[in-house]
Copies of this chain bind each other. A is one copy, B any other.
Amino acid sequence: MESRIPREECGIVGIYNAPEASKLAYLALYALQHRGQESAGIVSAEDGRLYMHKSKGLVADVFSADTLEALPGARAIGHVRYSTTGSNMEANVQPLLANYHAGSLAVAHNGNLTNADALRAMIEKRGAIFQTTTDSEIFLHLIAHSASSTFKEALLLSLMRTKGAFSLLLLRPDSMVAVRDPNGFRPMVIGKLGDGYVVASETCAFDIMGAEYIREALPGEILTFDKDGMHSEMPFAKSESAYCVFENIYYSRPDSIASNGRSIYEIRADLGRELAREFPVEADVVIGVPDSAIPASIGYAQESGIPYEMGLIRNHYIGRTFIEPQQSIRDFGARIKYNPVRGVLEGKRVVVVDDSIVRGTTIKKMVNMLRRAGAKEVHVRSSAPPWIHPCYYGVDTPSPKELVASYMTPQEICEMVKADSLGYLSIEGMRKVMPAGVGYCQACFDGIYAAGKPANFVKEIMEG
């Protein structure tokens, strides 16, 4: 799948009232590592103070026994982050920590505001100094500039001014607040751990901590955790829920649990089954692009009755830059990630299932690689509909003109990548599979933006 480029930008976790909270947060961030590999950070609270450690790098590299030891207390929030090239400044690493008139406050944010530019300009006009280029810092300044007498009121009034996507964790010395935006674009789940609570982007974070999944946070819900436990409020005007479909198709871990209680794995297998019904083909073997498209390929195989095999092996230990010889090796970029299993492919008619096609360049190399490994026919199947529109709600997207489906028909793409056939799952097919009972944001496919577009879409402040 070409979707290695669009990456979910952030994963968050919050722990309230559990011993060694920072170590738990570290484990949770490790489980959420797929949501952001560029930086990691944790802020913990104890005895009226906040403690922070954060840095660029993978979770396992950023933290050591010593750094975790220096993050005491039973309360913590954590963040992993991916950002677009050019703005991977050290200063942008989250959580962000502020000292202001009402004390200390840390914030971890997943999502993107659509009115960030206007808010930032307004706040700067009032004298604020920004330390980062992220929209996440806006929350801090709005709260610090609020005239409200209580933190809760300042927070509410600040949130009222923001538009867009935010799953937000705020840590103060004595309490933690979790907020999910009124559309619920980005995921947020609640769990129980001993006497305390945990909040995270996905349930896989609960499993590694040994916490128990309770429920999703509701769109527009504000959850306050303090010495009296968890308190829920729904202060926003009611909006349509608009859950990100791409979480289910691609971003979330397959072992995380979706809004209807099913595993993401099962949803993806169903997407594969639906895809097999929409785009059947005579073939000898079904393979998937590892790791994210494996569930859909298993579903496709089960529905079609064509055997599923591992036709592509993924090189481990990636996530680093590789040094390419000057005498460049053919399809180097694909080769460094995947290697075909010749015995599975040789002389076979191959269905290869991917979960997203972005620029079309990777799938083109993949088709070429499969043919050189002996495949007689290569049939490309995408378990996601054509990706045509950019995401303004927290997914790093290339500019629209780089999205191949925005300017080519499937038939043209099929010819360009030199596949024997190409089938994209339909939007309708996709929706049949998605858990019922909630609304979805599928703007990347249909261009309908529930929370509007930014007036002046500036890439640099789309991080968080």
Q: Does A315 contact B (CB under 8 A)?
A: yes
Min CB distance, A412 to chain B, in Å?
30
A206 to chain B, nearest CB (A): 10
Cross-chain contact A323 with B145 (CB below 8 angstroms): no
A60 nearest in chain B by CB position:
B320
- A386 at the A/B interface (Cβ < 8 Å)? no
A315-B31 in contact given A302-B307, A335-B208 (Cβ < 8 Å): yes
Residues from chain B with Cβ under 8 Å of A343 in the complex? 257, 262-263, 265-266
- A227 beta carbon closer than 8 Å to chain B: no
A149–B138 Cα gap in the complex (Å)?
Answer: 24
**Closest CB-CB distance, A450 to chain B, in whole Å?**
28
Taken together as a complex, chains A and B put the C-alpha atoms of A199 and B315 apart, in Å, by 20
Question: A308: CB under 8 A from chain B?
Answer: yes
Convert A256-291 into 0s and 1s, putting 1 for each residue whose CB lies closer than 8 angstroms to a CB of B: 010000110110010000000000000000000001
* A291–B320 alpha-carbon span in the complex (Å): 21
Whether the pair A100, B126 counts as a contact (CB closer than 8 A) is no
Q: A19 within 8 Å of B by Cβ?
A: yes
**Is the pair B266, A294 in contact by a Cβ cutoff of 8 Å?**
no
**Is A156 on the interface with B (CB-CB < 8 A)?**
no
Q: Whole-angstrom distance from the CB of A147 to the nearest CB of chain B?
A: 9
Q: Does A26 contact B (CB under 8 A)?
A: yes
Instruction: Decide yes or no: A19 and B327 within 8 Å by CB, A59-B317, A127-B100, A310-B254 being known contacts.
Output: yes
A52: min CB distance to chain B, Å? 10
A221 to chain B, nearest CB (A): 24
Contact with B along A112-147 (1 / 0, CB 8 A): 000000000100111111110000000011001110
Which B residues touch A144, using CB under 8 A? 124, 127-129
Docked pose: A325 CA to B211 CA in angstroms: 14
Residues of chain B lying within 8 A (CB to CB) of residue A315: 30-31, 33, 208
**A295 interfacial by beta-carbon distance below 8 Å:** yes
- Does chain B have a CB within 8 A of A63? yes
Q: How far is the CB of A66 from chain B (nearest CB, A)?
A: 10
> Who on chain B is nearest to A291 by CB?
B316
Q: Which residues does chain B contribute within 8 Å of A339, judged by CB atoms?
A: 31, 204, 207-208, 253, 255
- Range of interface residues on A (Cβ < 8 Å): 35 or more
Contact A254 B313 (CB under 8 A): yes
Is A342 part of the binding interface, using a Cβ–Cβ cutoff of 8 Å?
yes
Let me know if A391 is at the binding interface, CB within 8 A: no
Interface string of A1-44 (1 = CB under 8 A from B): 00000000000000000011001101100110110000000000
CB atoms of B207 and A99 under 8 A apart:
no
Query: A433 contacts the other chain (Cβ, under 8 Å)?
Result: no
Task: For chain A, residues 44 to 67, give those with C-beta under 8 angstroms from any C-beta of chain B.
Answer: 58-61, 63-65
Interface members, chain A 314-371 (any B CB < 8 Å):
315-317, 319-320, 322-327, 329-330, 335-336, 339-344
- Asked if B141 and A99 make an inter-chain contact with CB atoms under 8 angstroms apart, the answer reads no
> What is the distance, in angstroms, from A14's C-beta to the closest C-beta of chain B?
16
Contact status A317-B125, CB under 8 Å: no
Bound complex: CA A451 to CA B302 (Å) = 47
- What residues of chain B lie closer than 8 Å to A100, measured between beta carbons? 124, 127-130
CA distance A158 to B383 in the complex (A): 59
CA distance A358 to B339 in the complex (A): 29
A129 lies within 8 A of B140 (CB): yes
Is A101 interfacial (CB-CB < 8 Å)?
Answer: yes
What would be 19 A-B contacts, judged by CB atoms less than 8 Å apart? A27-B336, A58-B317, A98-B129, A100-B124, A100-B128, A100-B130, A126-B145, A204-B339, A207-B340, A208-B315, A208-B335, A208-B336, A208-B339, A263-B341, A266-B341, A266-B344, A298-B308, A298-B309, A298-B310
Known: A30-B322, A129-B129, A131-B131. 5 other contacts (CB 8 A): A20-B327, A58-B317, A101-B124, A204-B313, A295-B310
- Interchain residue pairs A-B with the least CB separation, the first 5: A127-B145, A263-B343, A101-B124, A98-B129, A255-B313
User: Which residues of A pack against B, CB within 8 Å?
Assistant: 19-20, 23-24, 26-27, 30-31, 33-34, 58-61, 63-65, 68, 98-101, 121, 124-131, 140-141, 144-146, 204, 207-210, 253-255, 257, 262-263, 265-266, 269, 291, 294-295, 298, 302, 307-310, 313, 315-317, 319-320, 322-327, 329-330, 335-336, 339-344
